[in-house]
Amino acid sequence: MAIDRAVETAADRFTDLHLQALAAEVGAHLRSRGERIAVAESCTGGLIAKLFTDAVGSSAWFERGIVSYSNEAKRELLGVDAATLKTYGAVSAAVVLEMAQGLLKRAPVDWTLAVSGIAGPDGGTADKPVGTVWLAFAGRIIAASASRLQLAGDRDQIRRASASAALVGLGHLLG
């Protein structure tokens, strides 16, 4: 089920320290549960994986990160169906769900996170303006779900806000 949310961005809210604290909190939840996670990132370009690996002891709970920026990478590395990409586009609930589920099938983990969006400054359309981001979460014991965000700001702010929303969402799922 997709949940539409509008998220405001503020340059000072998404600092490295803020994002690292969120990542460490997710890691603490995973560690306490004895679980591991993998991420599939497009518009965030590996930012979430970087934040996870910034956390001391992350090797106990972070298994892998895949930057699947191109549609070809989404198909080859995550098993996203070419027809899904053609029908819905890379920035869609259908694609992020296939990214998360494909990674869950391929990685020895309990949880996956996938993100795809339009960070700008170009690439937006009337239906998918700059700042449109889709997140998906999948787990061995839960049904996969996707959420749409509409973010404001420049490219860096949108990427950081995407990472923050993903980490907060994971924290809620795990906490």
Contact call for residues 171 and 25 (beta carbons, < 8 A): yes
CA separation for the pair 67, 38 (Å, rounded): 11
Cα-flanking dihedrals φ and ψ of residue 118, to 5°? -115, 100
Would you tell me how many other CB atoms lie within 10 Å of the CB of residue 4? 8
Q: Rounded to two decimals, what is the model's pTM?
A: 0.93
Which secondary structure element, helix H or strand E, spans residue 74, and what is its range? helix 71-78
Give 20-70 pLDDT, tens digit per residue.
999 999 999 999 999 999 999 999 999 999 999 999 999 999 999 999 999
CA separation for the pair 171, 2 (Å, rounded): 18
Q: What pLDDT is stored for residue 12 in this prediction?
A: 54
- Structural domains of the chain ordered from first start: 2-174 (3.90.950.20)
CA separation for the pair 108, 111 (Å, rounded): 9
Report the number of secondary-structure helices (H) and strands (E) in the chain.
Answer: 6, 6
Give 122-168 pLDDT, tens digit per residue.
999 999 999 999 999 999 999 999 999 999 999 999 999 999 999 99
Res 172 pLDDT > 90: yes
Confidence band of 14 (pLDDT split at 50, 70, 90): confident
CA separation for the pair 98, 34 (Å, rounded): 25
Contact call for residues 133 and 91 (beta carbons, < 8 A): yes
Contact call for residues 155 and 122 (beta carbons, < 8 A): no
